[in-house]
Amino acid sequence: MAISDVQKKGSYLNVFDDGGKKISELYVSSSMELMGIAADFYVVKDGSYFKTYGSDSKKIAELYASSGMSFKSAAGSSFNIQDGSYIKSYDKNCKKTGERYSR
């Protein structure tokens, strides 16, 4: 199911479809931060991990965020991480799909 928005309300992330209907929610601890929203998943940073969740708010996968890695963007079916001088692209299963030099 397509995700149109994810909003934080109190200790929860509420996930909405393209009709504005809430389709799921995820409890978030104080260490979790919403990073970005793609077409059918969203990305949360939890401590030293980037975690992907589906429209049902079930965890899909996680990626260890080594020092020097920072979230850049999410769109379509992928998300991008800045890792030193490189932009690395990952799919929702946290499998690297490409990289490019960015300096």
Q: What is the per-residue pLDDT across 22-58, written as a single tens digit (0 to 9) for each?
A: 999 999 999 999 999 999 999 999 999 999 999 999 9
Per-residue confidence at 18, pLDDT binned at 50, 70, 90?
very high
Q: In what order do the strands lie in the sheet with 96-101?
A: 69-75, 78-83, 86-91, 96-101
Single pTM value for the model: 0.95
Cα end-to-end distance, the chain, whole Å: 37
Cβ atoms < 10 Å from Cβ of 21: 9
Kindly state the tokens that stand for 80: 């991008």
Residue 85 CA to residue 89 CA, distance in Å, equals 13
Residue 94 has pLDDT above 80, yes or no: yes
Residue closest to 62 by CA, chosen among 76, 79, 77, 82: 79
